[in-house]
Amino acid sequence: MSPPLVPAPASAVVRDAPAPDLSAGIRIEADPAFAAEGERLVVALGRGSAPVTIRRGDHPEEGYALRVAEDGVVIEAATAAGVFYAGRTLIQLAEAAAPTAVEIRDEPRFAYRGIMLDVARHFHPVETVFAVIDRASDLKLNTLHLHLTDDQGWRLALSTRPELAQLASGTSVDGDPGGFYTADDYARIIAYAAHRHMAVVPEIDVPGHTHAVGLAYPELVADPVIGDEVREVTAESGGALPVAGEPYTAIGVGFSSLRADAPGVDAFLADVFHELAALTPGPYLHLGGDEALGTSADDYRSLVDRAARAVAATGKTPIAWHEAGAAPLPRGTIGQYWGFLTPTDGHDDRARAFVANGGRIILSPADAIYLDMKDAPDAPLGLTWANGPTNVERSYRWDPAGVITGIDEADILGVEAALWTETLRTRADVERLLLPRLASAAEAAWSPPYGSMPARTWESFRERVAGRGSAWERDAPGFGRSPEIPWA
């Protein structure tokens, strides 16, 4: 039997033996290096009598061993992150219907386990970001990718370029209120994430998705290129077509571009990425690069090359959406693949170009783990372009190593779910689509390969997810109670 855990651990042996009653609270005996992690477990489970020993041991970076037996709990790890993940597992066991005696050895399959949140289409306040961090770190994700800029708004105040937040953040899609993070807000997000062993990857999207830049710096952007698709999507969403110098509040994509020949472009890229690097402790900066349909192929290559060099000049490693594989990039640049589980239109070629250039790939297959796809044909929230409407089973039944021919285990840095917010206005909207499909992405990122063990099957997953229902009801009321899951 698989223990009631999400994501499934690398190995677990359930014993038919008495287990301690963790609901009565715990007392900790911890190696001093892990005292803070121990204290947070007491806060989560309550102070009581069940003994929990936390000690140092030889384990992989984020791995751990966890033994739950009648005489108590023993956690062993090499790092605070490992203890944190053992704690997440223990909390899930404590929240399960029946106490389980179990021996677990666990470690992540991939180093990068992410959730992307779009705060540009709709601005989302710091508290909503905290809620996303909580849900993601409970599922052992370790990266929050913030999509900070898009046609509809620029969401981070920069002291070198104050006009961006001042002039380009006022609105969201449908004319909903806009907003931006101050440097202090951004620092609070980073600290909140770091406390839960998550790094923040900020994205400034260039050269497309830059209409809002033109509200602050008209000379840096080209006139909107309005093709049939933008016309249709804008009309469907009931908005007005993009007009240079005016906020755009509909949801078309691919009409905006930086101007490759604008004299100020390199200074802009240098200022923005330099300040972003100074505000961001993690190793990565994301430069976007997606859907630049309003940029000629030559200008695209030139602008992506210059943006990626501006990132590399800060000492950070660039990440870019897979289209950027068509441009010259610093060696080792990471590619993020958003194509389908069965690649189309050469998207796989673009992804392979990153690997040929010494980089690795983050997999975000849109028809599996774009969480903003509608989860039912009549769903009030979400889009459908990625073979939608979708469902939980579709988000689960795939394996990262099986998506792109030639991109194998060692070429994959990790897996990231994406939540775009064209249709998501509130924290409740975000939570409605975040769960349960974020759990599918978490298993793809953390657990052994799909199909490689009894726990890594859809049948096991839906039972284990059902077991998380009451905790999610408490933490994210209104989350997506899919009919595919046998909720208690």
The CA distances from residue 165 to 69, 104, 155, 171, 178, in Å, are: 55, 48, 6, 11, 10
CB of 433 to ligand TNX, least distance (A): 11
C-beta of 222 vs 253, nearer to ligand TNX: 253
Place of tokens 């990122």: 445
Task: Pick from 337, 338, 354, 450 the residue near ligand TNX by CB under 6 A.
Answer: 338
Residue among 253, 245, 134 at smallest CA distance from 189: 134
Residue 110 binding ligand TNX, by CB under 6 A? no
- Does 291 contact ligand TNX by CB under 6 A? yes
- The phi, psi pair for 323, rounded to 5°, reads -55, -30
Set 95, 103, 291, 484: catalytic member: 291
User: What does the angle CA 269 – CA 273 – CA 278 come to, to the nearest 5 degrees?
Assistant: 150
Give the shortest CB-171-to-ligand TNX separation in angstroms. Answer: 16
Does position 203 bind ligand TNX by CB under 6 A? no
367 binds ligand TNX (CB under 6 A): no
How far is it, in rounded angstroms, from Cα 152 to Cα 250? Answer: 8
The helix/strand/coil state of 38 is helix
Query: Of the listed pieces 219-227, 270-278, 366-374, 396-404, which binds ligand TNX according to CB under 6 A?
Result: 366-374
Neighbouring CB atoms inside 10 A of 195's CB total 13
Binder of ligand TNX out of 6, 68, 253, 312 (CB under 6 A): 253
Residue 291 a catalytic site member: yes
Before 436, cis peptide (omega within 30)? yes
Q: Cβ 415 to ligand TNX, closest distance in Å?
A: 15
Quote the least distance from Cβ 250 to ligand TNX, whole Å. 12
41 interacts with ligand TNX by CB under 6 A = no
Residue 420 binds ligand TNX, judged by CB under 6 A = yes
Of the candidate spans 96-104, 298-306, 324-332, 365-373, the one that interacts with ligand TNX by CB under 6 A turns out to be 365-373
Tell me: does residue 370 bind ligand TNX (CB under 6 A): yes
Regarding 416 and contact with ligand TNX (CB under 6 A), the answer is no
Of the two residues 87 and 288, which places its CB atom closer to ligand TNX in the complex?
288
User: DSSP letters of 297-349?
Assistant: HHHHHHHHHHHHHHHHTTTPEEEEEGGGGGS---TT-EEEE-S-SS--TTHHH
Part in contact with ligand TNX (CB under 6 A); list of ranges 62-70, 364-372, 429-437, 462-470: 364-372
> Residue 427 and residue 355: Cα distance in Å, rounded?
37
AA identity, residue 94: A
CB-based contacts of 370, cutoff 8 Å, min separation 6: 338, 364, 386, 417, 418, 420
Is 383 near ligand TNX (CB under 6 A)? yes
Give the contacts of 163 (CB within 8 A, at least 6 positions apart).
Answer: 216, 217
- The count of chain residues that interact with ligand TNX, using the rule CB under 6 A, is 11
The catalytic residues are 291
Binding site for ligand TNX (CB under 6 A): 253, 290-291, 321, 338, 366, 370, 372, 383, 420, 422
